[in-house]
Chains A and B, each alone.
Chain A
Amino acid sequence: MFDITIIGSGVVGCSIARELARYKLDICVLEKESDVACGTTRANSAIIHAGYDAKPGTLKAKLNALGNPMYDKLAEELEFPFRRNGSIVICFSHEEIKGLEKLLDQGRKNGIPGLRIIYKDELMKMEPNLSDEVVAALYAETAGIVCPYEMTIALAENAAENGVEFKLNSRVLNIVKKENFYEIETINEVIKTKMVINAAGVYADEINNMVSKNKIKIIPRRGEYCVFDKSVGDMVKTTVFQLPTALGKGILVAPTIDGNLLVGPNAVDVEDKEDVSTTREGLNEVLRVAKRSVKCIPTDKIITSFAGLRARCTKEDFIIGEADDAENFINAAGIESPGLTSAPAIARMVEGIVIQKLNPEMKKDFNPIRKAIKKFRELTNDERREIIKENPSYGKIVCRCETVTEGEVLEAIRRPLGARTLDAVKRRTRCGMGRCQSGFCSTRIVDILSRELNEPITDITKFGGHSNILVEKNKEGIN
């Protein structure tokens, strides 16, 4: 019997898992995919919002304001990339300045520091590539950028190091409430647990509705993005938004923490919770709107595009707390933007509920520190010499675009919750994320995975399931 089972290993599930790992509790995390951070966490804007967007008084407003300042310590303890690059909301006419003032006022009500309206001259000095149409902007100095999957992997690794058990490839089929506990039926087994925490992202409605009569509905809202080559990664320094609309914060132009340029997302409600396809219309829309913010969006420098699904709840706010009709069933549902920013604060809020309900004892030996995989590309030449001497596989570069070594790939595979697929290696090392988009390194990664996992090369997949890279030996199908 587990004390707590967390369903979902996105940034919310993993933040909660890592927070609760401080206590003497038997904790399990169930994940339907073959890796953590595979849903909304994998594909979003990667922005740590300052906190002026959400309506004062909402959970979104409160947790955004609390979550943002938690990032510095978290990033330090877990060694994931995070930087406060600031954000601007730009407007294109003097009338629209009222919109900025409204946001500023809202931000002040939410208790957000470091907000001010800046005008054309200062703005163009800050961001010389903005379009000439731009009149003014709301500048938020506390906004930041992060690598959401690396952060989540870091949270998960640290939780695992501190005793949390992760069960991957474990889709939940049903949950049955028993007298003092819950039985969770997964595709592999039945798990008994005293408490359930629902952090299932776009599936949080289904999980809730298995247990509670207070039905909720998540409507996935797709957002599409284009990623640009690092050679144009410095086109903007801050995250550039336009004035928000009813559908969301609109299409942004931002540097990524890894040095690329990111443009997106649009917002389209979809039915299919698995469909992360991009569309021609969507990509065109994203580029068209971005061109209004920044002059000369270099469309010939696009290296890839992707889509993600926001777990948007019809209730318009986060749903965090115990279900009214199901004791010890805790929801962390409807976590759309600013969910990433809020995740550390959501974890604290859930921690509060757990303390209240279970009154657990603190562990004395909780270790909050997680060491990142050493990134060869970020080392000095002296450090490089050192690390190759220690471990020669750091002298073998497998991904030439991102300068990733075999040493890094091996570590990504050998760590707790180690990579089992090409995409999992990619998220941990950036192998294949560069300008050739895995053309050269994928053949090597397939070999390394096959060797390390002792699996036939035809069993190696891109992201689990039937996403095999190779299907059979040459001529096998010829009689």
Chain B
Amino acid sequence: MKEYDIVIIGGGPAGLAAAISAREEEIENILILEREDKLGGILNQCIHNGFGLHIFKEELTGPEYAKRFIDKVLKLNIPYKLNTMVIDFNRDKIITAVNEEDGLLEIKAKAVVLAMGCRERPRGALNIPGSRCAGILTAGTAQKYVNIKGYLPGKKIVVLGSGDIGLIMARRMTLEGAKVVEVDELLPYSSGLKRNIVQCLNDYNIPLKLSHTVVDIKGKERVEGVTVAQVDENRNIIPGTEEFVSCDTLLLSVGLIPENELTRKANIEISGNTGGPMVDETMETEIPGVFACGNVLHVHDLVDFVTMESMEAGKNAARYVKGMYEKKGEVVELTAGEGVRYTVPVWVHTGNLGDGVDVRFRVSNVYRDKYISVYFDDVRIMHLKKRILTPGEMETIRLKPAFFKDRTDIRKITIKVEGE
């Protein structure tokens, strides 16, 4: 069995950033395992720009963004294996992977970084009735066909769901010669970024119908149209609002799910709120030496935040391997209070905050002119006015060591949305 200091499962933006930061902490013996035939993950098919505003202060395309990290991995001579699928992983940090050259690989790692990313929710997750003909696919699959292979999966498109990939694909398909009839969103707000609604829909006069969903799909061999209906505040279909929309393709952009099959194989507990493993401020899971970062942990909107989080995970994995890893202070639980769907991390060590720890979270509804508050037990220690809060945009607050000064015996930190 081969042994490595750190094995990183996934060579997308999370895995690359983790690998680089681990190497910068002077860990030599690193291996990245990537299931696709190139590094870079889903960024390779995200040919639109807008990546990197926070880190590079410029607008890169997905492949350009990925290239900056891939180049660095190459320059640092970090070993990686492509076309290599991890099929098993256990609590002893033994990884079983498979590829054509090595056959079956068994690897023992001192530390593991889980960076497997996420996948799209399929039609079944919504149980949309109707035909099962050709022309029904997720936006990400369409993105691969159009951007990587150069072919259109259809010419007259209805998009269900206003997640970012759906919005991006509405624009892309338009530019490549398809007609996007409309985008339907079940919720009364879009789960995509504001800038994508403006730049991908408004600029191309593509209507966004909020509180609308697809209730039936018609077509024998290929989609001939979908029935769209309006829903009430409880997401129930309002009878009489059904309308047939002629199209040859239904693109689904109805949410992303962290891809934690391997995490489950090691019996690591998965959060019902994020779909990812639970971690502390070092991105470490319940198994010492197993870290998680990027979309496998929770779904991000911006790759820059994936990168920052993953640098942290890589650095801590390195420290773990070097035996420099010490978590000082008390363990305090972080809780998503009213109006907040989840927080990452879910635990912090009060003596291990360095310059501060970023807590990322999402709100559960659209809020205007509200406050984000942080409570240490019953004491409010942070109160930030926000003009707008939406579930589509991840929020970050920084817990600073100063907050904990003179406060011992904190049992719980709660983040919530408040009126005043």
| Interface set of A (CB-CB < 8 Å, partner B) | 226-227, 274, 276-280, 282-283, 299-300, 302-306, 381, 384-385, 388-389, 392-393, 395-397, 400-401, 403, 435-440, 442-443, 447, 457-458, 461-478
Chain B nearest CB: distance from A464 CB in Å? 8
Chain B nearest CB: distance from A222 CB in Å? 12
Q: Does B234 contact A (CB under 8 A)?
A: no
Whole-angstrom CA separation of A304 from B128 in the bound complex: 9
A305→B35 contact, CB < 8 A: no
A303→B124 contact, CB < 8 A: yes
B216→A280 contact, CB < 8 A: yes
* Given A396-B83, A470-B145, A303 and B152 contact (CB-CB distance below 8 Å): no
Chain B nearest CB: distance from A309 CB in Å? 13
Chain B nearest CB: distance from A121 CB in Å? 32
* B residues in contact with A385, CB < 8 Å: 103-104
Whole-angstrom CA separation of A401 from B216 in the bound complex: 27
Given A397-B35, A471-B155, A475-B177, 8 additional A-B pairs, CB 8 A: A274-B220, A277-B218, A306-B132, A395-B98, A395-B103, A457-B149, A463-B134, A473-B151
Q: Does B352 contact A (CB under 8 A)?
A: no
Whole-angstrom CA separation of A466 from B216 in the bound complex: 20
A381→B152 contact, CB < 8 A: no
A interface footprint on B115-135 (CB within 8 Å = 1, 0 otherwise): 000011011110101111110
Interface stretch among B136-144, B181-189, B327-335?
B136-144
B87→A466 contact, CB < 8 A: no
Chain B nearest CB: distance from A324 CB in Å? 36
* Given A385-B104, A392-B101, A396-B99, A276 and B149 contact (CB-CB distance below 8 Å): no
A437→B153 contact, CB < 8 A: no
A471→B152 contact, CB < 8 A: yes
B119→A469 contact, CB < 8 A: no
Chain B residue with the shortest CB-CB distance to A389: B103
* B residues in contact with A436, CB < 8 Å: 119-120, 122
B103→A384 contact, CB < 8 A: yes
- Counting chain B residues whose Cβ lies within 8 A of the other chain, the interface size class is 35 or more
Chain B residue with the shortest CB-CB distance to A457: B151
* B residues in contact with A277, CB < 8 Å: 129-132, 216-218
**Contact pick for A437, options B98, B124, B133, CB 8 Å:** B124
A interface footprint on B142-163 (CB within 8 Å = 1, 0 otherwise): 0011101111111100000000
* Given A274-B220, A471-B155, A395 and B177 contact (CB-CB distance below 8 Å): no
Whole-angstrom CA separation of A58 from B178 in the bound complex: 57
Whole-angstrom CA separation of A477 from B177 in the bound complex: 6
Whole-angstrom CA separation of A276 from B127 in the bound complex: 15
* B residues in contact with A388, CB < 8 Å: 98, 100, 103-104
* A residues in contact with B134, CB < 8 Å: 461-463, 466-469
A469→B130 contact, CB < 8 A: no
Whole-angstrom CA separation of A135 from B100 in the bound complex: 55
* Given A466-B221, A467-B222, A439 and B119 contact (CB-CB distance below 8 Å): yes
* Given A388-B103, A439-B120, A471-B153, A400 and B35 contact (CB-CB distance below 8 Å): yes
B120→A305 contact, CB < 8 A: no
Whole-angstrom CA separation of A392 from B83 in the bound complex: 12
B122→A279 contact, CB < 8 A: no
* A residues in contact with B101, CB < 8 Å: 392, 395
* Given A277-B129, A436-B122, A476-B177, A442 and B155 contact (CB-CB distance below 8 Å): no
Q: Does B96 contact A (CB under 8 A)?
A: yes
Q: Does B338 contact A (CB under 8 A)?
A: no
Chain B residue with the shortest CB-CB distance to A226: B127
| Interface set of B (CB-CB < 8 Å, partner A) | 35, 83, 85, 87, 96, 98-104, 106, 119-120, 122-125, 127, 129-134, 137-138, 140-141, 144-146, 148-155, 176-178, 215-218, 220-222, 248, 261
Chain B nearest CB: distance from A296 CB in Å? 15
Whole-angstrom CA separation of A384 from B99 in the bound complex: 11
Q: List 18 A-B contacts (CB under 8 A).
A: A276-B131, A277-B216, A280-B129, A299-B127, A304-B122, A384-B98, A389-B103, A395-B104, A435-B122, A437-B124, A439-B122, A443-B141, A457-B151, A465-B221, A466-B134, A466-B221, A467-B134, A468-B222
* B residues in contact with A467, CB < 8 Å: 133-134, 221-222
Pairs A-B, 8 closest by C-beta atoms: A437-B122, A467-B134, A304-B124, A395-B100, A388-B103, A392-B100, A477-B177, A470-B151
Whole-angstrom CA separation of A467 from B220 in the bound complex: 9
Indicate the member of A395, A447, A464 with the most B CB atoms within 10 Å.
A395
Whole-angstrom CA separation of A400 from B34 in the bound complex: 13
Whole-angstrom CA separation of A280 from B151 in the bound complex: 33
* A residues in contact with B132, CB < 8 Å: 276-278, 306
Chain B residue with the shortest CB-CB distance to A476: B177
* B residues in contact with A472, CB < 8 Å: 151-152, 155, 177
A440→B155 contact, CB < 8 A: no
* B residues in contact with A299, CB < 8 Å: 127
* Given A283-B127, A439-B140, A474 and B151 contact (CB-CB distance below 8 Å): yes
B177→A474 contact, CB < 8 A: yes
* B residues in contact with A439, CB < 8 Å: 119-120, 122, 137-138, 140-141
* A residues in contact with B248, CB < 8 Å: 471
Chain B residue with the shortest CB-CB distance to A377: B87
B129→A279 contact, CB < 8 A: yes
B149→A443 contact, CB < 8 A: yes
Whole-angstrom CA separation of A463 from B131 in the bound complex: 13
Chain A nearest CB: distance from B247 CB in Å? 13
Whole-angstrom CA separation of A440 from B291 in the bound complex: 25
Chain B residue with the shortest CB-CB distance to A478: B177
Chain B residue with the shortest CB-CB distance to A444: B144
* A residues in contact with B122, CB < 8 Å: 303-304, 435-439
Chain B residue with the shortest CB-CB distance to A306: B132
Whole-angstrom CA separation of A401 from B119 in the bound complex: 11
* B residues in contact with A468, CB < 8 Å: 134, 222
* A residues in contact with B222, CB < 8 Å: 466-468
Chain A residue with the shortest CB-CB distance to B37: A396
A474→B124 contact, CB < 8 A: no
A443→B104 contact, CB < 8 A: no
* Given A280-B215, A469-B153, A474-B150, A305 and B129 contact (CB-CB distance below 8 Å): yes
Whole-angstrom CA separation of A397 from B152 in the bound complex: 25
Indicate the member of A276, A302, A447, A471 with the most B CB atoms within 10 Å.
A471
* A residues in contact with B146, CB < 8 Å: 474
**Contact pick for B87, options A300, A303, A403, A464, CB 8 Å:** A403
Whole-angstrom CA separation of A436 from B220 in the bound complex: 23
Chain A nearest CB: distance from B246 CB in Å? 16
Chain A residue with the shortest CB-CB distance to B153: A470
B104→A475 contact, CB < 8 A: no
* A residues in contact with B221, CB < 8 Å: 463-467
B152→A474 contact, CB < 8 A: yes
B96→A381 contact, CB < 8 A: yes
A474→B141 contact, CB < 8 A: no
Whole-angstrom CA separation of A462 from B222 in the bound complex: 9
Indicate the member of A299, A440, A457, A475 with the most B CB atoms within 10 Å.
A440
**Contact pick for B154, options A274, A304, A392, A471, CB 8 Å:** A471
B103→A473 contact, CB < 8 A: no
